[in-house]
Structure 1
Amino acid sequence: MAVTGESKIIDTILNRRSVREFTDRQISKEEISTILNAGRWAPSGLNNQPWRFVVVRGPKTIHQLSECTHYSGIVAGAPLLIAAFLDTESSYNRTKDVQAVGASIQNMLLTCCELGLGAVWLGEILNQHEKVNSILGCPPKLELMAVLAIGEPAPGKRSSARKALSELVFEERYGEKWEE
């Protein structure tokens, strides 16, 4: 459900869906640059920009990475993967830096949506982070945070539900106890 007439960014946020099936269309270098640029403009504490990205387009590497997750079909079917890492050497506060990497990932997901591309944030692959780092030849200072599978969405309807705001938001009670 989109909020009409409010703003393009609100529409993009409300219309973005995780896409797990892709066509064979390759993603252009310009599109990749736009996605990465959006990621690097995320906020970070002290502007330390602790994220690092590895762009994966080679079929052999994509296949190897697909063997690192229960979601191998999603990974193997994507023409583009972006692995997002926390650079632990540029980290100053782990919680803030992990949140910053999450913000950069969200920027990239929203940009994919804006470009008419589909993407999904894969976290289960973190269980094989050492194998992923080995496949990608990453130094030990890079801690895997997620892999994004990106491509042109295969035809199909995607939907998502959200909890009501009343289940998620509580207002200050001015010293009173919360009511259940």
Structure 2
Amino acid sequence: MNTLDNIYNRRSVRRFTEKDVDDEAIITLLECARWAPSGLNNQPWKFVVIRREDTIEALSNCTHYTDTVKGAKVLVAFYFDKESGYNRTKDIQSIGASIENMLLACNEIGLGAVWLGEILNQEDKVNSILKAPADMELMAVIAIGHPTDEERSSTRKSLAEITYRDSFENKW
């Protein structure tokens, strides 16, 4: 799949099959995530790969998306390593790029994934479950697995709704 097709066709997957995700796939996803751009190449991210059923179960109680989390074979928690940061905005943007790299890599290798942001409302609980040190800030959790065969579609706002020429005075 070429890059543009991957971007246009990636969808959030919230239902997964029972098939396990192998170690090779997980390593591929982590490699793609770590190759995201970051300011001064500071790479401010840390990843926690979660496969234990009891930990997945505990994390499923930290979100309204309980069934999605329980159905995933792998969760990846993305953390901002505040000790390695130099500019909070840039660092968080870099972690967003890292997350997107992983989502696109999932799509490329036939896995499904969804970016769970709502779980941030229970950050303290998640940090406790994952035994996160104080210098780590939770950015997101990604639920990963083999997607079910259901149809997924999505829409986007038109460029005219979100784009301007030269200034906000001139609509696209």
TM, length-normalised to structure 2: 0.96
Separation in 1, partners of 2:32, 2:134? 25
Q: Give 1:56-75 correspondences, 5 Å limit.
A: 56-75=50-69
Separation in 1, partners of 2:160, 2:33? 31
Percent identical across equivalent pairs? 58
Rg larger in 1 or in 2?
Answer: 1
Q: Give the corresponding residue for 2:98.
A: 104
* Secondary structure at the counterpart of residue 84 of structure 1: strand
Q: Give the corresponding residue for 1:3.
A: none
- Offset at 1:138? 1.3
Q: Give the corresponding residue for 1:4.
A: none
- Offset at 1:147? 0.3
Q: Does 1:28 align with 2:29?
A: no
Q: Give 1:1-180 correspondences, 5 Å limit.
A: 8-172=2-166, 178=169
Separation in 1, partners of 2:150, 2:57? 24
Residue deviations 1:12-67 (CA, integer Å, cap 9, x gap): 00000000000011111000000000000000001000010000001000000000
Aligned length: 171
Q: Is the 8 A contact 2:164 2:170 kept in 1?
A: no
- Offset at 1:169? 1.0
* Secondary structure at the counterpart of residue 4 of structure 2: helix
Partner AA of 2:130 in structure 1? L
| RMSD (Å) for aligned C-alpha atoms | 1.2
TM, length-normalised to structure 1: 0.92
For structure 2, the 5+ residue unaligned runs are none
For structure 1, the 5+ residue unaligned runs are 1-6
Q: Is the 8 A contact 2:13 2:147 kept in 1?
A: yes
Partner AA of 1:44 in structure 2? S
Separation in 2, partners of 1:131, 1:27? 26
